[in-house]
Amino acid sequence: MNIHSWLTVRLPDKSSTISQLLSVGLLSVVLFLSLVADSIAAPVVGDVASFQNVEKLLSQRNFAKKQQAIEWLVLSRHTSAARILNGLLEGQIYYHRQSKRLFHIAVLNINESAFLIEDSKADSEKVLITNRRDYKKVKLNNRLRSAVRLGLAQLDLASEIENVRLRAAKDLLGNTSDSVQALVRETYQLETSVSVKEVLALVLAISDISSDDTTVRMKALQALNGSLEPAAQLAMKKSLDAELARENGDAEFIAGLKLGIDSYEQSQRLYSSVETLYFGLSLGSVLVLAGIGLAITFGVMGVINMAHGELIMLGAYTTYVMQQLMPGHTGMSLILSIPAAFLVAGAVGVAIERGVIRFLYGRPLETLLATFGISLILQQAVRSIFSPLNRSVSTPDWMSGMLEVNPMLSLTYNRLYIIFFCLLVFAALVFILKKTSLGLQVRAVSQNRAMARAMGVRSEWVDAMTFGLGSGVAGVAGVALSQLTNVGPNMGQSYIIDSFMVVVFGGVGNLWGTLVAGLSLGIFNKSLEPWAGAVLAKILVLVFIILFIQKRPRGLFPQRGRAVEG
């Protein structure tokens, strides 16, 4: 028996009055409980009780009604709340003039897709736009934009994911509005993560440091002192200027502010030096990758290979071709490009050595001119196949973005991978030259070619394999460089001079010398750039190498052997 039928049962006449009172009381309790249940299921804000009301209110011109809709989205934690609020800020939320339904439209063009935002569906339904006039953008004023940003912050701070809450807290640094501070104080009491609470405390301290209460602002100063956040330094500077402008400033507070600002600037100088060192190592890694292949061919064979830059270019174009063959698999295509580029550039190198260079041993000028002509042929061949336009090579997701060590130091992933890749290539070459029979014969030929031939070493085969090895390494360098710059026919010309510079400075034919020279020149160059500029810094590096070669013609680590000593 349901409640309604139970209420309609007739009681004896003498108790009719009592039964009526009980019926009315029970009905009141049921109605009250139903209202409570409805309020728990969907909070009511003004005229808003459901998502359909949100659509109707956002399609109106009344900004107060729109604010009620925004507040309902935030309080109800609606599944589309974040999407709608972000879309409002980006100007991509529209409503249909007739149905008043909300749509997410990136570009309002005919034959484009409008994505319907529905309460009951997680996935958006696509609707083809046939008439632009059917849709009208939901407009905001400055007050509503502030409400939307506050709503997004409130949603993120209530997220179950700690990183989302941490990012939201950092976004509020420097925001001293009353509404934000009230939200942060409320969230701080409920937050369980230590790292998020630290950032929230910093948000409150930035606001409290401007307080007229001495105790409050001194406590805020203690929280800001030692922080690496730029917003903390800005708040301390503003407070210092305001305190100095007063007639009777607090001397203890001023001294604390100056100490905190000096500590921040000292940390800034330290991490700026670390960042310069990181950029120098990344540039040095590029120089090592570009020059290490030339160090092998130049050291063993004494060949001035002016086509070395074009071999780097071939490796970069191999990466581009691999990405075209494997669309949608950027990371895998980049990894497979490494052996592919080594084989392509190595095969071209062996062909150059067998077809041209082996007839010109002992004639360095003719070798230089011949390899220069080969470089022009390779450039023109690439222009004919791929066109003269530069080609862009996509970067995998795992190489994009930055590693944030702290607010003052962020390391880009692509440069970090280049450094590791350089060390990996260097270790592989050292293993080949020290632990394999090819490496033993290469070292024998490089130290004393005549004696090696007398011991039965096939110097012609060693020359071909060595030139192919150096060319293959140049191709691998092209794979790495494709992630830092555009790929084009003239790409190799940018690195040929740097390659020779690294080889000569480190010592001809010495791998360790090439590594030390490349990294040191990269650090030296990046250290000079802040005060000398990029062009002048490169000129100064070249002048330094010229002066150094005057004192040590054989470089940092000269090659040893009877042939060299003779």
> Is 119 a member of any domain?
yes
Higher pLDDT, 306 or 14: 306
Q: How confident is the model at residue 398 (pLDDT cuts 50, 70, 90)?
A: confident
**Quick one: 464 and 555 in the same domain?**
yes
Q: Which domain holds residue 168?
A: 159-249
Average pLDDT of the chain is 83
521 neighbors 508 (Cβ within 8 angstroms): no
**Quick one: 542 and 437 in the same domain?**
yes
Average pLDDT over residues 445-459: 79
**Quick one: 226 and 123 in the same domain?**
no
> Is 33 a member of any domain?
no
Give the side-chain half-sphere CA count within 13 A for 106.
4
What's the CA dihedral at 91, 96, 101, 105 to 10 degrees?
-40
- How many domains in the chain? 3
**Over the stretch 461-511, which tens digit does the pLDDT of each residue have?**
888 888 899 899 999 999 998 988 889 998 888 888 888 888 888 887 778
**Residue 26: is its pLDDT beyond 50?**
no
Which residue is it, tokens 């100063």?
Answer: 221
291 neighbors 503 (Cβ within 8 angstroms): yes
Q: How confident is the model at residue 439 (pLDDT cuts 50, 70, 90)?
A: confident
**Quick one: 204 and 110 in the same domain?**
no
Q: How confident is the model at residue 560 (pLDDT cuts 50, 70, 90)?
A: low
Cβ-based neighbours of 354, under 8 Å, separated by 6 or more: 464
Which residue is it, tokens 């000079």?
Answer: 528
558 neighbors 548 (Cβ within 8 angstroms): no
pLDDT score of 364: 80
pLDDT score of 458: 81
pLDDT score of 123: 61
**Over the stretch 9-19, which tens digit does the pLDDT of each residue have?**
333 444 444 44
Q: What share of the chain is helix, strand, coil (3-state, %, to 5)?
A: 70, 5, 25
**Over the stretch 329-365, which tens digit does the pLDDT of each residue have?**
888 999 999 999 999 999 999 999 999 988 887 788 8
**Of 113, 143, 173, the domain-final residue:** 143
Q: How confident is the model at residue 382 (pLDDT cuts 50, 70, 90)?
A: very high
Which residue is it, tokens 């004192």?
Answer: 551
Q: How confident is the model at residue 87 (pLDDT cuts 50, 70, 90)?
A: confident
Q: How confident is the model at residue 48 (pLDDT cuts 50, 70, 90)?
A: low
Q: How confident is the model at residue 269 (pLDDT cuts 50, 70, 90)?
A: very high
Please state, as a whole number, how many other Cβ atoms lie within 10 Å of the Cβ of residue 415: 19
**Of 195, 216, 249, the domain-final residue:** 249
**Quick one: 134 and 165 in the same domain?**
no
Average pLDDT over residues 163-167: 89
Q: Give strand pairing partners of 48.
A: 45
> Is 116 a member of any domain?
yes
Mapping DSSP to helix (H, G, I), strand (E, B) and coil, where does residue 125 land?
Answer: strand
> Is 42 a member of any domain?
no
pLDDT score of 43: 52
pLDDT above 70 as % of the chain = 88
DSSP string, 217-241: HHHHHHHHTT---HHHHHHHHHHHH
> Is 202 a member of any domain?
yes
**Residue 120: is its pLDDT beyond 60?**
no
Of all helices (H) and strands (E), which one includes residue 202?
A: helix 194-208
**Quick one: 351 and 489 in the same domain?**
yes
**Residue 427: is its pLDDT beyond 90?**
yes
**Quick one: 419 and 386 in the same domain?**
yes
278 neighbors 272 (Cβ within 8 angstroms): no
pLDDT score of 347: 94
> Is 7 a member of any domain?
no
- What is the amino acid identity at position 222? Q
**Residue 565: is its pLDDT beyond 50?**
no
**Residue 319: is its pLDDT beyond 80?**
yes
Average pLDDT over residues 313-330: 91
Q: Averaging pLDDT over each range in 317-321, 359-363, 387-391, which range is the top one?
A: 317-321
- How far is residue 375's CA from residue 386's CA, in Å, rounded to a whole number? 16
Q: Rg for the chain (alpha carbons), in Å?
A: 36
**Quick one: 164 and 130 in the same domain?**
no
- How far is residue 341's CA from residue 134's CA, in Å, rounded to a whole number? 54
> Is 208 a member of any domain?
yes
pLDDT score of 44: 52
Please classify residue 193 by burial: count the beta carbons closer than 10 Å to its beta carbon, then call 0-12 exposed, 13-18 middle and 19+ buried. middle
**Quick one: 307 and 335 in the same domain?**
yes
**Over the stretch 169-197, which tens digit does the pLDDT of each residue have?**
888 888 888 888 888 898 888 888 899 99
**Quick one: 139 and 163 in the same domain?**
no
Q: How confident is the model at residue 563 (pLDDT cuts 50, 70, 90)?
A: very low
Of all helices (H) and strands (E), which one includes residue 411?
A: strand 409-412
Tokens of 502: 């690294």
Mapping DSSP to helix (H, G, I), strand (E, B) and coil, where does residue 391 land?
Answer: strand
CATH classification of the domain holding 419 = 1.10.3470
- Out of 155-164, 295-304, 305-314, pick the least confident: 295-304
> Is 4 a member of any domain?
no
Higher pLDDT, 120 or 353: 353
- How far is residue 235's CA from residue 174's CA, in Å, rounded to a whole number? 8
**Quick one: 128 and 173 in the same domain?**
no
**Over the stretch 543-558, which tens digit does the pLDDT of each residue have?**
888 888 888 877 777 7
pLDDT score of 29: 41
φ, ψ of residue 329 in degrees (nearest 5): -125, 65
Q: How confident is the model at residue 406 (pLDDT cuts 50, 70, 90)?
A: confident
pLDDT score of 178: 84
**Quick one: 370 and 473 in the same domain?**
yes
**Of 143, 174, 199, the domain-final residue:** 143
